[in-house]
């Protein structure tokens, strides 16, 4: 046991927390206008006349409206030239106006009316004969549009939406930095409340309360707490576990700050690590470090995954997705979605660019025994990669000393 694990209580740790002292500024209307101009330039490149973006992270990205998709269509139609039009149920108008972060025309539909026919009329008014579809738009919405506007050619909007969202601005990086620093502080305090017999439910509850105390949007956006054998399953096992001496502790959690995500995993041992736990942890650390060191603008995303796997295979893990070894990709893009394009995985040949942000998490799984995942996030600069948060220094000291 180290002085970073155990020895405190949830009440003590929560009492020491307060909202983030210097919150990152919100995304401005001017930045959202730049995003739409970029989308219009990409529309011109692929030859489409309009783009539809449904409720969800992309609508928040362009319009500031942080609503989730439902069976009622709420969407933005952006023409290749000119300003956007918002489509919304009439009874939601007040809420939309309070949420909207851009200047836009608003057209409304009543509960008995078809929002897809309304969208078709908007497209007709624009003279648009082609429409790029938000890839996250539900199929029923796509199908409704297709039937309502049979003369409009439908295209995949991913090159436009991903082409905008995968490059983060300085304002986005600041919001993500706050989210990740928040979650790392929660991790640090969660380790202190561990004791023999504590349940995964109690730890998850504390983590949610700590995220809320630090000012995250809605507490934990997700939380996986895995003890012992449960750590051998990348996303855990159902049911509750109780902590015992010698158990691996794997905690993977995150939050949102103004919609921007964190997602950090720490793995350590409650008690004295075994030689095998130490060997696997050390190998995981080397793979994560090697992946980070390989990041340079222009390098294909898939090469970072390959670098991590070469380290693991040299230590006797794998090959490929074979276990014991790494059963999933090395990393994912992150921003307003916790997982978003591009991905650090074989087959994704997207060149790395300055402003992209990724997780780095080449997990090692020993089936029915334990697993080790170290997950931190980095952003790409003109010369390489920079960590948002300090990676776990060692198995015995899970957290770097605070400045």
What CATH number is attached to the domain comprising 225? 3.90.230.10
Q: Are 189 and 271 in contact (CB under 8 A)?
A: no
403 pLDDT above the threshold of 80: no
Mean pLDDT, residues 245-273 taken together? 98
Q: Output the average pLDDT for the chain.
A: 97
Place of tokens 């030239």: 81
pLDDT at 290: 98
30 pLDDT above the threshold of 60: yes
The helix/strand/coil state of 20 is coil
Q: Are 344 and 377 contained in the same domain? A: yes
Which one, of 100, 97, 106, 93, lies nearest residue 60 by Cα? 100
pLDDT at 73: 98
Place of tokens 């149920």: 89
Q: Are 71 and 176 contained in the same domain? A: no
Which residues form the domain of 129?
A: 29-165
99 pLDDT above the threshold of 70: yes
Q: What is the largest CA-CA distance in the chain?
A: 70
Q: Are 98 and 153 contained in the same domain? A: yes
How far is C-alpha 397 from the chain's CA centre? 26
Confidence of residue 34 (pLDDT cuts 50, 70, 90): very high
1 pLDDT above the threshold of 60: no
Q: Are 357 and 214 contained in the same domain? A: yes
Q: Are 96 and 85 in contact (CB under 8 A)?
A: no
Q: Are 161 and 171 contained in the same domain? A: no
Q: Is residue 47 part of a domain?
A: yes
Beta-bridged to residue 87, according to DSSP, are 75, 107
Confidence of residue 330 (pLDDT cuts 50, 70, 90): very high
**φ, ψ for residue 108 (rounded to 5)?**
-120, 150
Kindly report the number of other CB atoms within 10 A of residue 203's CB atom: 23
Confidence of residue 68 (pLDDT cuts 50, 70, 90): very high
Cα separation of 378 and 108, whole Å? 42
**What CATH number should be reported for the domain holding residue 139?**
3.40.350.10
**φ, ψ for residue 131 (rounded to 5)?**
-140, 125
Q: Are 233 and 343 contained in the same domain? A: yes
- Residue 71 burial (10 A CB sphere; 0-12, 13-18, 19+): exposed
Q: Are 53 and 36 in contact (CB under 8 A)?
A: no
Q: Structural domain tally of the chain? A: 2
User: Kindly report the CA angle at 317 between 316 and 321, in degrees rounded to 5?
Assistant: 150
Domain boundary among 121, 149, 165: 165
Tens digit of each residue's pLDDT (9 = 90 or more) over 186-241: 999 999 999 999 999 999 999 999 999 999 999 999 999 999 999 999 999 999 99
Q: Is residue 141 part of a domain?
A: yes
Q: Are 133 and 189 contained in the same domain? A: no
pLDDT at 402: 81
Which is it for strands 85-89 and 75-79: parallel, antiparallel or unpaired?
Answer: antiparallel
Q: What is the pTM of this model?
A: 0.96
Q: Is residue 17 part of a domain?
A: no
Q: Is residue 15 part of a domain?
A: no
Q: Are 299 and 331 contained in the same domain? A: yes
């Amino acid at each position: 046991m180290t002085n970073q694990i155990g020895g405190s209580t949830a009440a003590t740790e929560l009492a020491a927390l307060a909202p983030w002292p210097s919150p990152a500024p919100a995304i401005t209307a001017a930045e959202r206008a730049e995003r739409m101009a970029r989308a219009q330039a990409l529309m011109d490149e692929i030859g489409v006349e309009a783009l539809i973006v449904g409720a969800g992270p992309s609508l928040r990205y362009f319009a500031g409206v942080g609503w989730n998709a439902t069976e009622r269509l709420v969407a933005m139609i952006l023409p290749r030239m000119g300003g956007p039009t918002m489509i919304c149920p009439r009874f939601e108008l007040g809420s939309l106006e309070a949420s909207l972060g851009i200047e836009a025309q608003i057209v409304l539909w009543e509960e008995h009316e078809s929002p897809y026919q309304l969208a078709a009329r908007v497209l007709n008014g624009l003279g648009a004969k082609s429409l790029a579809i938000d890839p996250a738009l539900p199929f029923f919405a796509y199908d409704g549009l297709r039937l309502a506007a049979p003369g409009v050619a439908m295209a995949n909007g991913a090159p436009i939406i991903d082409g905008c969202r995968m490059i983060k601005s300085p304002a986005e990086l600041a919001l993500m930095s706050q989210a990740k620093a928040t979650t790392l502080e929660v991790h640090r305090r969660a380790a202190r409340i561990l004791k023999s017999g504590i349940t995964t439910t109690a730890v998850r509850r504390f983590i949610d309360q700590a995220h809320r105390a630090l000012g995250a949007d809605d507490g934990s956006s997700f939380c996986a707490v895995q003890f012992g054998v449960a750590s051998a399953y990348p996303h855990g096992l159902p049911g509750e576990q109780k902590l015992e001496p010698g158990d691996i502790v794997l905690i993977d959690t995150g939050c949102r700050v103004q919609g921007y995500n964190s997602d950090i995993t720490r793995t350590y041992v409650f008690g004295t690590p075994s030689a095998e736990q130490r060997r696997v942890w050390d190998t995981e650390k080397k793979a994560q470090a090697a992946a980070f060191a390989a990041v340079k603008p222009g390098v294909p995303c898939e090469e970072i995954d390959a670098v991590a796997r070469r380290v693991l295979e040299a230590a006797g893990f794998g090959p490929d997705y074979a276990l014991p070894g790494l059963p999933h990709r090395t990393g994912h893009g992150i921003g307003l979605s916790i997982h978003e394009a591009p991905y650090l995985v074989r087959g994704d040949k997207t060149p790395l660019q300055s402003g992209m942000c990724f997780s780095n998490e080449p997990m090692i799984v020993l089936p029915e025994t334990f697993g080790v995942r170290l997950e931190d996030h980095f952003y790409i600069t003109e010369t390489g990669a920079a960590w948002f948060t300090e990676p776990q220094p060692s198995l015995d000291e899970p957290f770097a000393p605070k400045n």
